[in-house]
Structure 1
Amino acid sequence: MIKGAWIVTALIGCDQGATAEPPPKEPPAPAADDGRVEKRGSSESRNTAVEEEGLLIGEYRLAPDPVIDGDTIRVEGIDKSIRLLSLDTEERFHGKAERAAATKDFEGYLKMKRGDAKRPRKTGTPMGEQASEFAKAFFEGAESVRLERDDPKEIRGHFGRPLAYALVEKNGRWTSYNVECVRAGMSPYFTKYGYSHRFHNQLSHAEAEAKQAKRGIWNPNAQSYGDYDERKAWWDARADFIRAFEHQATRESNFILLSHWDAPNRLEASLGKEVVVLSTVDRVKHFKGLVRVTLDMQPKRPLPLIFFDREVFNESGVADYQGEPVVVRGRVERYTKGSYSTLQLVVDDVAQVTTPKLPGEI
């Protein structure tokens, strides 16, 4: 038994459960041209299709009142709202008090909302309201929406929502809402969780076009966050770190992205072997004899990193990277007690942890 593992049992007892067998792969969807793809046959609108690996999720009827905000929609047949990829529109106001504060003194409102946070935060703004109206106009009258993934293995995000590009048929072609939202200046090209694999050029060009035309958030008179240079520098630094790992993962079979649906299966198959994983730091908890750091993993089964040496933990700097991506190298171990079993990595050398170079101090 691993030293101190009895403590780990009490902390992660909710992570039990077997993973499903790998589903059959869907054929790749055609590449888009300027945010558009040629029409193909629709798939059955059923919630189970969301869990199947592949680029194409399917065509779905929009739910009544489908727009939650500029980057989130609802469709019939899927249990949760759809988080639209490569977008990060500003928030809608949450209540009358927030709207009133923004109306009275918008700059003061933004400063109050950020407080002493080291990184930009999200909050309700007039541009967030405008982005929602843009989405409503875009999807108005659409009979169905086509949902596609960026990566066939990236099925759901941190909050369990399906991740997708949303396309609507306009003038006989499928038009990407994600690209058009950026082109309209309703959102920057959002790279916090990585560059788009399929539509990087289209999204980059759409953002450049919106900036040049001073549309939406790029209009100097818009009541928007106003700190997009800072946001983009942070997001792109993360994206560069993720892309470097992804490139290595194409050459090294033991590199595992924990955001992929099959990460638990791959770790199970690597028991006793060294792996290199990429994920965001979720929680850090200190206990007598160890520090437990959890990394996000799909499907909602965090991977524990166990530090028995507190000096190694401190030198790794991982405590300063909660919510940020890190790369960790280690041998996959299993801890078992009674009917409970979990996989974990033990970190006993600071060289096992690699953190990104982010702008500013963390």
Structure 2
Amino acid sequence: MGTRIKNLQVTRVVDGDTIKVLLNDKREFLRLDCVDTEEILNHDSKPRTNAGIAASEMARQYFMNEHGFLTKVDIEFDSNEPVEVCLEKYRDHHGRLICCVHKQGENYNLKLIKEGWSPYFIKYGSSRLYHQEMMLAEAEAQAHNRMIWNRQTNESSAFRNYTILMPWWSLRASIVDDFRRYGQPNGVLSVRLDYPKILLAAMKQQSITIFCDLQEGITKWIGNSGIIHTGTKDRSLKLWIPEASDNKYAPIVHLINKRYTGLGRGYVYISGQVTMYRDKPEITLTHLQQLSDFCPVFPGASSTNSPALTYNNTQK
């Protein structure tokens, strides 16, 4: 069992996988962990679908009590850390709490998967607590053609191509699993999970290795220099590529664009000196060797014989 906060009043149902609760006298958005119901509005690469509309209506009914009022729920984090730690660490890019929701003993996240409202969504890593249950729930929903797994559900609307998405999610989940197994025990820092440690290292201008997601690629250009913002809304780290169009640094941009962005690997290990710039931590990327697909140090192996994959500036 993960860390739980009990008896929270639901104040709003946004859609099938996002609700709002009253927590510590503040209305908090919850982004339900390891699920991703379809959309009620067109959103970036996600289309509005019949399944999304139906999931939203189901959720509105589910979180209503017998008197027609919004009910109370428990939330559970994918960790057994103290509540105050979970409230800081387990948030998505928009600042929403990432958790499971339980109503009267039922795991709503698991219900969404089992009834076919959502796939087992592992784009950001598999569930530590409910991986097996969620895998079995997804298989059951697929076997019985429930909701999103039934072609007729979205026959008159757009649909999501899970044949393409699920292998990509599995790739990303395997990378996160390796980070949990090798990276964290060896001191690699996650921008989202270890932000205070990154800030402290930046103040001391130390060299560190971070694990981050480059799916969005370069987010801003200042002249010929590229900036990548990684992390979350409140826990952001900047990667700076000086003179990115110059022949010396262009291979870094090519590698990021072709290997990590979009439907690429996304996750990467970045090594370098971290400093503070305008109250935010920043690492300057000047060498391909600063990027690696694997943890720089594995258990029982020295850095010289570690199977880490890094890149050579002379590669073309």
What TM-score, normalized to structure 1?
A: 0.67
- Mapped to 1, the partners of 2:221 and 2:41 lie a distance apart of 37
Match of 1:291 in 2: 226
Q: Specify whether residues 273 and 127 from structure 1 end up closer, same or farther in structure 2 by C-alpha distance, changes over 3 A only.
A: same
- Partner residue of 2:142 out of 211, 218, 228: 211
How many Å separate the matches in 1 of 2:41 and 2:233? 31
- 2:162 is aligned with what amino acid? Y
Distance 1:330 1:288 in 2: 23
1: CA distance, partners of 2:276 / 2:120: 40
Structure 2: distance between partners of 1:351 and 1:201: 37
Aligned residue identity for 1:149: F
Aligned-partner Cα distance in 1 for 2:177–2:226: 29
Q: Are residue 326 (structure 1) and residue 268 (structure 2) matched?
A: yes
Residue in structure 1 matched with residue 110 of structure 2 by the alignment: 179
Q: Following TM superposition, by how much is the alpha carbon of 1:288 offset from its aligned partner in structure 2, in angstroms?
A: 4.2
Report the Cα offset of residue 289 of structure 1: 6.0
Cα pair distance change 1:289/1:92, threshold 3 Å: closer
5+ long unaligned stretches in structure 2? 295-316
Contact 2:192 2:235 in 1 (8 A): no
- 1:77-123 deviation line (CA, Å, top 9, x unaligned): 443321111111111146xxxxxxxxxxxxxxxxxx99xxxxxx211
Question: Would you say 1:83 and 2:31 are equivalent positions?
Answer: yes
- Tell me by how many angstroms 1:176 deviates: 0.5
Gapped runs of 5+ residues in structure 1?
A: 1-29, 32-54, 95-112, 115-120, 357-362
- Counterpart of 1:278? 211
For residue 259 of structure 1, the aligned residue among 192, 204, 207 is 192
Tell me the C-alpha RMSD between the 2 structures: 2.7
In 1, are the aligned partners of 2:17 and 2:35 still within 8 Å (CA)? yes
Distance 1:251 1:269 in 2: 18
Change (3 A) 1:312 1:207: farther
Q: 1:70 aligns with which of 5, 16, 22?
A: 16
State the Cα distance separating 1:285 from its structure 2 match. 3.0
Match of residue 197 from structure 1: 128
Question: Displacement, 1:162?
Answer: 1.4
Equivalent pair of 2:74/2:101 in contact (CA under 8 Å): yes
AA partner of residue 180 (structure 1): K
CA contact (8 A) 1:295 1:305 kept: no
TM-score by length of 2: 0.76
Q: Is the 8 A contact 2:191 2:198 kept in 1?
A: no
What letter matches 2:74 in structure 1?
A: R
* Distance 1:198-1:241 versus aligned 2 partners, 3 A rule: same
Asked if residue 345 in structure 1 is aligned to residue 277 in structure 2, the reply is no
Q: Deviations over 1:23-45 (max 9, x none)?
A: xxxxxxx26xxxxxxxxxxxxxx
Letter of the structure 1 residue corresponding to residue 35 of structure 2: L
How far, CA to CA, are the matches of 2:169 and 2:248 in structure 1? 28
The aligned counterpart of 2:298 is none
Whole-angstrom CA distance in 1 between matches of 2:144 and 2:117: 13
- Look up the equivalent residue of 2:134 and give its one-letter code: L
After TM superposition, give the deviation of residue 75 of structure 1 in Å: 1.6
Within the candidate set 38, 63, 69, 1:139 is matched to 63
Question: Per the alignment, in what secondary structure is the counterpart of residue 146 of structure 1?
Answer: strand
What residue in structure 1 maps to residue 311 of structure 2? none
1:226 Cα shift?
Answer: 4.8
Note closer, same or farther for the CA distance 1:200–1:296 as it changes in structure 2 (3 Å cut). same
| Contact in 1 for aligned 2:270/2:292 (Cα 8 Å) | yes
CA distance in 1, matches of 2:247, 2:177: 30
Q: Which amino acid aligns with 1:161?
A: R
Q: Is contact 1:279–1:297 with CA below 8 Å preserved after alignment?
A: no
SS in 1 for 2:40: coil
Report how many residues are paired. 269
In 1, the alpha carbon distance for the partners of 2:5 and 2:198 equals 23
- What percentage of residue pairs aligned between the two structures are identical? 26
CA distance in 2, matches of 1:193, 1:300: 17
TM-superposed CA distance for 1:303, in Å, is: 2.7
**Correspondence 1:24-63 to 2 at 5 A:** 30=1, 55-63=3-11
Task: Pick from 128, 143, 149 the counterpart of residue 77 of structure 2.
Answer: 149
Alignment of 1:89-168 (within 5 A): 89-93=37-41, 121-141=45-65, 143-151=71-79, 152=81, 153=86, 154-168=89-103
How much has 1:299 moved relative to structure 2?
Answer: 2.2
User: Is the alpha carbon distance of 1:313 and 1:214 closer, same or farther for their aligned partners in structure 2, counting shifts above 3 Å?
Assistant: farther
Secondary structure of 2:166's aligned partner: helix
| 1:199 counterpart letter in structure 2 | Y
SS, match of residue 79 in structure 1: strand
- The worse-fitting range, judged by mean Cα deviation, of 186-195 and 233-242 is 233-242
